[in-house]
Amino acid sequence: MIQEKLEALRSEIPDGVRLIAVSKTHSCERILEVYHKGQRDYGENKVQELVDKFETLPKDIRWHMIGHLQSNKVKYIAPFVNLIHGVDSFKLLQEINKQGEKNQRIISCLLQFHIADEESKFGLSLEEANLFLSSSEYQAMKHVQLCGVMGMATFTDNQEQIRTEFRSLVNVFQYLKKQYFQSFVPFKEISMGMSDDYPIAIEEGSTMIRVGSKIFGSR
């Protein structure tokens, strides 16, 4: 069942778009079913669950932290996390840099932007991002690398609204690329699109979709 859903989803995803299978709340057994079909990128939104699964599952899995991350918990995932999608403050980026140094790693991150019209969702404004990206403290950081942006659209049936919000994230990406990352090749990712809105996200230029229930069923 899971394997068929994965195959069906994969056939819809064009080259250049990476599928992050969002495995939060699902057991290691279910993850292994998908793993055996070749899926290597998984997303989790809770630190403890991410650590437990990392310890249990094969080591060639690339783990993505997709949820809101508290600074005091960065240390638990810093040794192994592949990509932190939800960097929503400079304070958090500072802590990731510090933990990257302790672990002698460069930790890849995405900046999360607030594109939805819901208060509940996390994310930076462009003003905040401009402020720290132009600071000398940011420029001196050696243990983080910014690879792009992430955002979540409003939970709504209004497809045009979702499209407009994804477009605003693409605009933010293009602006930042031009201002700060023109010659920095790794800054190329736009993480947007979930089970209900990934087709729109792909049309608008997503490079990473984060899909959970469409593969694993409802939580």
Per-residue tokens: 88 = 């929503």
Burial class (CB in 10 A: 0-12, 13-18, 19+), 94: middle
Q: Residue 65 or 144: which CB sits closer to ligand PLP?
A: 65
Per-residue tokens: 156 = 């709504």
Per-residue tokens: 38 = 């070749």
- Length of the chain equals 219
The C-alpha atoms of residue 73 and residue 78 are separated, in whole angstroms, by: 9
Query: CB of 5 within 8 A of CB of 25?
Result: no
The closest residue (CB) to ligand PLP is 212
| CB 66, min distance to ligand PLP, A | 4
| CB 31, min distance to ligand PLP, A | 14
The amino acid occupying position 89 is S
User: For residue 149, what are the CA distances in angstroms to 64, 176, 198?
Assistant: 14, 9, 16
Query: CB of 194 within 8 A of CB of 210?
Result: yes
Q: Residue 141 or 206: which CB sits closer to ligand PLP?
A: 206
The amino acid occupying position 64 is H
Query: CB of 211 within 8 A of CB of 201?
Result: no
| CB 15, min distance to ligand PLP, A | 21
Q: Residue 24 or 75: which CB sits closer to ligand PLP?
A: 24
| CB 133, min distance to ligand PLP, A | 23
Q: Residue 83 or 141: which CB sits closer to ligand PLP?
A: 83
Phi-psi region of 52 (alpha: psi -120 to 50; beta: other; left: phi over 0): alpha
Q: Residue 176 or 201: which CB sits closer to ligand PLP?
A: 201
| CB 175, min distance to ligand PLP, A | 22
Q: Residue 24 or 143: which CB sits closer to ligand PLP?
A: 24
Residues that bind ligand PLP (CB under 6 A): 22, 24, 45, 66-67, 152, 194-196, 210-214
| CB 136, min distance to ligand PLP, A | 31
